[in-house]
Chain A
Amino acid sequence: MFWTIEIKLKNEDNEQHRLTIPKGHVFEKKSIGTGIQNVAAAHDYPVVLPPRSEIAMVIEVFCINQHLSPPSGSYNLTCFKISKSFANQQDLWSIMQP
């Protein structure tokens, strides 16, 4: 069973936005040192946002930090994605090591 991120987006423009939340896109907790997992998208998620529209999406995610507690609560969308390819949770944990 996947963990998921539920995200609600609103297009503030009068034009459509077509974009992708890429596989590996990182979502983070809202403060440093909570002891709770940060996560990464498990697949690519294409998004089409009509002008002034609101949508809710469910994104399947893998955990980034093997030694932290399971995902919970509120998250932020980040400016990062995982730079290496991965197929499953174990792959991702293998990547996220020194």
Chain B
Amino acid sequence: MNDILSAQIRQYYKAIFYWHKENGDVTIERIIKANQTWGRNNDNVNEYKSALEEMPHPEKATLYEMYFVAEKVRSGILEWNYTEKNHEDISLGDIANKIIELYKEAKNVKDAKESENTIFIVIDHDIQNDNEYFRKADVVYKNILLNNEKNIGGRVAVADTNLEFERLSGKESYKFRRPEYLNFEELPQGSIYDLVLNGHITVHEVNAKK
């Protein structure tokens, strides 16, 4: 993953980690008091203690572990302290949201990098609309050429057709298929595409007509 994003996530995670390590007892008292008020047992106290013990040290935590803790701050056992603020007056909830946002960004960068090599298929549950899909598709499929000056490509046909496949499959996620799963195959060496790519032939115009 991107080193800068990783360092930022770790920096934010430190704020959550040290706040809970220093204020765990206060939190437990708060939970017990709330339980008494609402007539609940103290199962959530034990859950909080476990979360506190299991929280990995900032120097050793993986990115996923930090993301996992942030999710608990946003919506889980660590949510008790969502509105507490660190020494820079930023709430733990805001810090958690920042970690989640950066983690997803880092993951997207990783996915794109993997697609550039061999994996070439990504399932993305974060894309909300077609415009986001078009932007992401341009990254995911970036190792398929698109050179409008030379009038050659392949990326557009794959990205557009993949979206149509998604629509027809009726699922809400956006999956990026390899070209072969879209019934595209690469032209062999020596094809007209190859000759254009290597400067032997120039394509001046390609226009659709009826």
Q: Does B58 contact A (CB under 8 A)?
A: no
| Complex: chain A residue closest to B210, CB-CB | A3
A65-B161, A97-B165 are known contacts. Are A29 and B156 too (CB-CB below 8 A)? yes
The interface residues of chain A lying within 8 Å CB-to-CB of B210 are: 1, 3-4, 70-71
Please tell me if the beta carbons of B208 and A76 are within 8 angstroms of each other in the complex.
Answer: no
The minimal Cβ–Cβ distance linking A88 to chain B, given in whole angstroms, is 16
Please tell me if the beta carbons of A32 and B206 are within 8 angstroms of each other in the complex.
Answer: no
Q: Does B186 contact A (CB under 8 A)?
A: yes
Please tell me if the beta carbons of B154 and A80 are within 8 angstroms of each other in the complex.
Answer: yes
Please tell me if the beta carbons of A83 and B208 are within 8 angstroms of each other in the complex.
Answer: no
Please report which residues of chain A, range 22-57, place their CB below 8 angstroms from some CB of chain B when the two chains form the complex.
22, 25-34, 38-39, 47, 49, 54
Band of interface residues on B: 35 or more
The interface residues of chain B lying within 8 Å CB-to-CB of A65 are: 160-161, 164
A32-B155, A81-B185 are known contacts. Are A9 and B201 too (CB-CB below 8 A)? yes
Q: Does B196 contact A (CB under 8 A)?
A: yes
Most buried by B among A27, A66, A82: A27
| Complex: chain B residue closest to A15, CB-CB | B200
Please tell me if the beta carbons of B187 and A38 are within 8 angstroms of each other in the complex.
Answer: no
Q: Which of B179, B191, B206 contacts A76 (CB 8 A)?
A: B206
Please report which residues of chain B, range 157-185, place their CB below 8 angstroms from some CB of chain A when the two chains form the complex.
157-161, 163-165, 167-169, 179-180, 182-185
Among B30-38, B108-116, B138-146, which stretch is in contact with chain A? Answer: B138-146
Please tell me if the beta carbons of B192 and A78 are within 8 angstroms of each other in the complex.
Answer: no
Q: Does B203 contact A (CB under 8 A)?
A: yes
A-B contact pairs, 21 of them (CB 8 A): A5-B208, A6-B205, A10-B201, A19-B195, A22-B187, A30-B153, A32-B134, A32-B155, A49-B201, A54-B204, A61-B208, A64-B157, A67-B164, A70-B210, A74-B205, A75-B151, A76-B146, A76-B151, A79-B154, A79-B197, A95-B183
Known A-B contacts: A61-B208, A78-B152, A83-B183. Give 20 more (CB < 8 A). Answer: A4-B208, A4-B209, A6-B207, A8-B205, A11-B201, A19-B195, A27-B208, A28-B154, A30-B153, A32-B156, A33-B130, A33-B131, A71-B210, A73-B208, A76-B147, A78-B153, A79-B153, A79-B187, A83-B180, A83-B184
Q: Which residues of B approach A to under 8 Å, CB–CB?
A: 130-131, 133-134, 137-138, 144-148, 151-161, 163-165, 167-169, 179-180, 182-187, 190-193, 195-197, 199-210
